[in-house]
Structure 1
């Protein structure tokens, strides 16, 4: 075991958005504290990653986060963004508009009357969820609407209702049967939707921030153990898989909630019960993307999205200039597909599309994410599962071990949004300020 001779003021574990934001905050101070970022991957950015080598494409292929959510002057990412005439803004997660094609699973188009009927039912469901008695024990969103849902007699309308309910499931990356009724709509902290799509891709945008600011990052540094001495005058020891040891006064942990749930880092002494309970209680969603490229564009190029009332594959984004369809899958289905081969999944997707496009060609390339199996993610982003509250987020953010171990990440961003890149950035800024104040 090789031990670094340098004693750092701060070691940041994880060079995703939260770790990057913390480092940027520390660089503002004079004198600048000595710090190092330990990143397990061979790249920075976490789930913000733009693929540039799989496809020959005009549009960037973002495998994880795609948008700067909640774009506004207060967004901590806005100061790093130079506006471009190629920027694209959207104001809802799924643009269910005139640029969206709607099909039933058999290829027939939905009538406007059916669409309106299903929309009315879904609005009633969500109104019922919002009216749930806050003094009662929390239940899942599906349990809150189960009785009303089971009264839908028309199977066609039920399929359309399922598709519209799936908007929330894909936004939160979990099924309604897992999501909290009492915490419904709390993840965005009442900030109006405004999402910015960048022409270079969000992953490339984040990577350039790191390069431009010359952040000190050690890649391929998989932290396995953190030893916190009882004597506060002794340094914390961080051990990595490659037998390296680093010494620091403070540690900021920014790894994903999914990795914390999997006990990826061993703490000595063990984490306090209240911290472990918060980790267990908070939800971790899974949203995967499947990019499929064809030899030519066989769908109407005026459509930005294709929505299908299938019980499996519902939401396709369209990139006609690159002949690519982007399928979004979430929750239970996303976990199931990770257990299949790419070829099995592609064949099932083709079977879903063929009733609508019987003359469609065979795909030439595809790329599928498996964030649920990724050892440095184990999921996509946090959500409020049944029984979790804003108090859970506060506990995830709360420092421990006499204030020497700090926590950041989108899942810790109490008082703000959760689940997004800007959420992670806000939390990183917050904790860097706290640690700096302790050093001074």
Structure 2
């Protein structure tokens, strides 16, 4: 037993000293951001033999928008919540989750048409909702076929999802049609069809490749343990490895052909040959980080013109449950004349029996409106709805949790969404490096934009791009014509 303990201590010390030796004051690469993209990029660099790196993270943790929090004694996900499986292509994040025995629950939306409420209370007849849902499904099928037709053309032609719905002559008009359309589109894209690209949204590659089985993460360790697992493959510690600097808010990136200097809010300065910027698109669109010199106009346009949206899950804990429970009741829809007004609800009785927790999902403009309100005002709006649905005698919630991704200066939103007028050429520019400055994140993914898998693969792709530059001196970012 003593020998085993001694061997473990020696192994830890060896890892620590190797990490310390790799922590150069002027590393080859600095990675800004320790979300899944940044960690995947750093891991890829490490596996390619580039150990001389530094990861700089603004918050006290790694994980980025994979973020758990404690709510009424339970762990809930403020950010990404689902892993998808059942498709022809293996989902690497789901594989990691299974390896870690991450606790998940397979969500079942099949009975949603029987749980759709009117604005003033009472359920719609399930047959009526089923008919409208069938139209929505047929509309989706048309959108997918029309998208493929547009993609087959030589010209870069695109329209909004709403435009395709108009061509199909089935535009949602009534409140019931709109809430069903919200479920089919906004619930996934976090933006309405009128602003979302058809060609780059349909078909949804995440579902085509990885499957449509939605595994809801409900584990005390949180979804972020997947990022921690990746980090542990090359870091000796998630808090004390000298190659990882937490609580370091980058405010300035100065770059030239001789390298990069970054400055943080606490006055620290770091130099490197290259930098990978893995902050969110929302942060790039904000004034948190200043680039010196200013990024070229084509790059600023690419960043500014892309869509960053907000996906808000509002959690409420009640002293007892007053909503239907049991098989086929996990989700319900609320219909309102205002599209997206507290539309999609889920209880957590399947994940946490006896927890008496409901959460409602809002997106886009409703998220932006709600973020400006105090929790008490949001709770009041929600209680008006719940009393209409379940009676005046329901209890007040014991607690409420309202994530405010849009107001958080380290994220400025939940994930990106491809706008309908945004070309593939410009999308490529969004990911293009500028000299020694490389960019990564879910917003740079073409295939799985907005998903954790997109962030993961983007980090790997960006790192491989930099490795190609570093080892073979084939550097896209140094094309003089693209610097200006």
Does TM, scored on the shorter chain, surpass 0.5?
A: yes
Deviations 1:198-241 (A, max 9, x none): 34231344345435643632111111111112xx3x23111111
Distance 1:71 1:219, change over 3 A: farther
Where do 1:318-357 residues align within 5 Å?
Answer: 318-320=347-349, 321-357=354-390
Residue of structure 1 aligned with 2:445, choices 413, 424, 427: 413
Residue of structure 1 aligned with 2:56, choices 32, 38, 53: 38
TM-score between the two structures when normalised by the length of structure 2 = 0.79
Secondary structure at 2:273 match in 1: strand
Unaligned residue ranges in structure 2 (runs of 5+): 1-22, 472-484
The residue that corresponds to 2:415 in the other structure is 381
2:469 corresponds to 1:438: yes
Where do 1:129-278 residues align within 5 Å?
Answer: 129-130=143-144, 131=146, 134=150, 138-145=158-165, 148=169, 158-167=174-183, 168-188=185-205, 190-191=208-209, 192-200=211-219, 201-210=222-231, 213=235, 214=237, 216-229=243-256, 232=257, 234-278=258-302
2:335 corresponds to 1:309: yes
Unaligned residue ranges in structure 1 (runs of 5+): 153-157
Query: Does the aligned pair in 2 maintain the 1:69–1:421 contact within 8 Å?
Result: no
Structure with the larger RCO, 1 or 2 (CA within 8 Å, 6+ apart): 1
Query: Does the aligned pair in 2 maintain the 1:12–1:35 contact within 8 Å?
Result: yes
Question: For the residues of structure 1 that align with 2:27 and 2:280, how far apart are their CA atoms?
Answer: 23
Query: Does the aligned pair in 2 maintain the 1:257–1:411 contact within 8 Å?
Result: yes
Secondary structure at 1:355 match in 2: helix
Query: Does the aligned pair in 2 maintain the 1:294–1:364 contact within 8 Å?
Result: yes
Deviates more, 1:116-125 or 1:132-141: 132-141
2:109 corresponds to 1:80: no
Residue of structure 2 aligned with 1:429, choices 460, 463, 466: 460
Query: Does the aligned pair in 2 maintain the 1:187–1:383 contact within 8 Å?
Result: no
Question: For the residues of structure 2 that align with 1:356 and 1:284, how far apart are their CA atoms?
Answer: 33
TM-score between the two structures when normalised by the length of structure 1 = 0.87
Query: Does the aligned pair in 2 maintain the 1:22–1:429 contact within 8 Å?
Result: yes
Deviations 1:43-101 (A, max 9, x none): 2111111112x3123xx3000001224576643324533164943335xxx82426962
Distance 1:78 1:299, change over 3 A: closer
Deviations 1:165-200 (A, max 9, x none): 112112101122221234342553642323333342
Q: How far is the alpha carbon of 1:396 from its aligned partner?
A: 1.6
Question: For the residues of structure 1 that align with 2:126 and 2:86, how far apart are their CA atoms?
Answer: 32
Query: Does the aligned pair in 1 maintain the 2:114–2:129 contact within 8 Å?
Result: no
Query: Does the aligned pair in 2 maintain the 1:71–1:195 contact within 8 Å?
Result: no
Question: For the residues of structure 2 that align with 1:85 and 1:306, how far apart are their CA atoms?
Answer: 26
Where do 1:292-307 residues align within 5 Å?
Answer: 292-302=316-326, 303-307=329-333
Number of positions where the alignment pairs a residue of Structure 1 with one of Structure 2: 419
Secondary structure at 1:337 match in 2: helix
Question: For the residues of structure 1 that align with 2:430 and 2:156, how far apart are their CA atoms?
Answer: 24
The residue that corresponds to 1:117 in the other structure is 131
